[in-house]
């Protein structure tokens, strides 16, 4: 994979600035109440960690892993690969942290799953929103950036498992 082909869509500086704004907005919501940052593996980890570092309230971390993708195509089938413990969800304020909402299938599944486990509240925060590709009706409570229909990579997002380590969100320019 040649990094020279990856163009910057959202820079490290823009992300850092937006993370601070989001952390402040989220704090306004929860104030003194504890919130669980439920981090969706693997893609949301860099974003969640940077966001958490800017969060002033009480938060705890938990992790969940679902998968709906093979390569770069959404299959629409959600597979729960790493579940959460019911006791970590029941009666808790859950903030799902995602890297991107694309078709919306994953987020819709997660919200239903967490409500089923008895969460006190379920809210959602996504770094990126690709509204043009939505297939089911879900809307995140907190959105870092709205993006057009690009396949993006970096800052946690993968290109066939690679390029998650990039400090920015990028895309590969194709020759038309
Ligand atoms: P959804 O269920 O279609 O909303 O897909 C959500 C998941 O698909 C995300 O959590 C990502 O893992 C993956 N995904 C969707 N679009 C992209 C992209 O542009 N780059 C990398 N991963 C993506
Ligand atoms: Mg993901």
Ligand 1 contact, 102 CB (< 6 A): yes
Residue pLDDT, tens place only, 28-81 = 999 999 999 999 999 999 999 999 999 999 999 999 999 875 555 555 789 899
Ligand 1 contact, 103 CB (< 6 A): yes
Q: Which ligand is nearest to the CA of 161?
A: 1
Residue pLDDT, tens place only, 89-124 = 999 999 999 999 999 999 999 999 999 999 999 999
Nearest alpha carbon to residue 98 among 54, 41, 148: 41
């Amino acid at each position: 994979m040649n990094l020279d082909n990856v163009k910057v869509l959202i820079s490290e500086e823009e992300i850092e600035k937006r993370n601070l704004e989001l952390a402040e907005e989220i704090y306004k919501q929860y104030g003194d109440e504890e919130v669980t940052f439920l981090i969706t593996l693997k893609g949301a980890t860099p974003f969640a960690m940077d966001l958490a570092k800017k969060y002033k309230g009480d938060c705890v971390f938990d992790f969940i892993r679902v998968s709906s993708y093979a390569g770069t195509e959404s299959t629409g089938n959600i597979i729960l690969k790493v579940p959460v413990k019911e006791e970590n969800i029941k009666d808790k304020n859950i903030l799902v942290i995602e890297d991107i909402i694309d078709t919306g299938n994953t987020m819709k599944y997660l919200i239903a799953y967490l409500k089923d486990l008895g969460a006190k509240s379920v809210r959602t925060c996504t770094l990126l929103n690709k509204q043009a590709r939505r297939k089911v009706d879900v809307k995140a409570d907190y959105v870092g950036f709205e993006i057009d229909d690009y396949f993006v990579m970096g800052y946690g997002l993968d290109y066939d498992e690679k390029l998650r380590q990039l400090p920015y969100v990028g895309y590969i320019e194709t020759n038309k």
